[in-house]
Chain A
Amino acid sequence: EADIYQTPRYLVIGTGKKITLECSQTMGHDKMYWYQQDPGMELHLIHYSYGVNSTEKGDLSSESTVSRIRTEHFPLTLESARPSHTSQYLCASSGTYNEQFFGPGTRLTVL
């Protein structure tokens, strides 16, 4: 079944730890996106990719980094987590048309 997956769904971690949020899609989409969203707030685009080896920063400045080595995989990494990184992180992908399909999100809490 074509879908988009995010792991972990929930993550509680201490300050200074390195973390990687995983995102995979089985729809063969070229375009993938990462959004940051605080509860009850707007979506903010932090990274996107239009294909393998292509990554761009989004509208909201973020200390995270991304990579796109395979079409289906778009992980997001925080080298040193801080409490200000506590948020929900949503991954999405889109194909030929602009409709984006979202994953379930990862809720990150940094203590």
Chain B
Amino acid sequence: GESVGLHLPTLSVQEGDNSIINCAYSNSASDYFIWYKQESGKGPQFIIDIRSNMDKRQGQRVTVLLNKTVKHLSLQIAATQPGDSAVYFCAESRGFQKLVFGTGTRLLVSP
């Protein structure tokens, strides 16, 4: 079928390294942000979220950082493992409006 849109940027890391995936969002009024992980052949799965009243939120091996001044969101993965290889999407929303998804970044982890 005809492809729509851009090919995803790729981040390649070695197993055990820390990974940082970046996302620039567009709406300064957005107050909710979320990161999804999508493995090949599967639907996106929730990783971590953050609200605009926070700058940082930590999960298991993952940290999300929010910089509202420059409208930037990042996902940090500690001690990256081969199972972390996937496409990562950020998404933003304002109030009860639907999520707006970013382009996505492909993470490749080599042993």
Contacts and interface: CB of A to CB of B under 8 A. Distances in A.
Interface of A: 31, 33, 36, 38, 40-45, 48, 60, 83-87, 90, 92, 94, 97-105, 107, 110
B5 A38 contact: yes
A97 B41 CA distance: 26
Given A98-B93, A99-B49, A36 B4 contact: yes
Interface stretch (B16-24, B74-82, B99-107): B99-107
Main SS of the interface on chain B?
loop
A38 B3 CA distance: 6
B34 interface: yes
Nearest to B1: A86
Contacts, number: 71
Given A102-B44, A105-B42, A105-B43, A42 B34 contact: no
Nearest to A98: B93
A42 B101 contact: yes
Interface string B28-47: 00001010100001111110
B32 A44 contact: no
B32 A98 contact: yes
B89 interface: yes
Contacts of A98: 32, 34, 93, 96-99
A70 B101 CA distance: 27
A68 to B, nearest CB: 15
